[in-house]
């Protein structure tokens, strides 16, 4: 429950610049418009990724971004998920 509150507070301040900065920092170049798609996905699907079926949630994203971006997102998700366990 505490993590949910922290996530909700963080998301209130999340911006497209944050998405782009994170992508650049992680050597994950985004194609035009993908930052907005990722932002919308985070805002609308974070709870499903956090508590539900993450793969089902990510499948919603698969057709909206390039295959390279999708693969990078899954890779980063798995790396970070493993770090916080």
pLDDT at 75 over 60: yes
Q: Taking a C-beta distance cutoff of 8 angstroms, is the pair 61, 70 a contact?
A: yes
pTM recorded for the entire structure: 0.89
Residue written as token pair 């993590």:
3
pLDDT tens per residue, range 23-74:
999 999 999 999 999 999 999 999 999 888 899 999 999 999 999 999 999 9
Residue written as token pair 């610049």:
17
Q: How many CB atoms lie within 10 A of CB 73?
A: 20
Residue written as token pair 């998405």:
19
pLDDT tens per residue, range 12-24:
999 999 999 999 9
Residue written as token pair 């930052």:
35
pLDDT at 79 over 80: yes
Both tokens assigned to 11:
């998301």
What is the pLDDT at residue 85?
56
Burial letters 8-27, b for 16+ CB under 10 A, else e: eeeeeeeeeeebbeebeeee
């Amino acid at each position: 429950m505490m993590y949910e509150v922290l996530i909700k507070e963080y998301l209130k301040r999340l911006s497209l610049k944050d998405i782009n900065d994170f992508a650049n920092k992680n050597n994950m170049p985004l194609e035009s418009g993908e930052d907005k798609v990722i932002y919308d996905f985070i805002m609308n699907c974070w709870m499903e990724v956090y508590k539900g079926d993450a793969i089902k949630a990510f499948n919603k994203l698969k057709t909206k971004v390039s295959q390279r971006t999708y693969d990078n997102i899954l890779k980063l998700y798995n790396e970070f998920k493993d770090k916080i366990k």
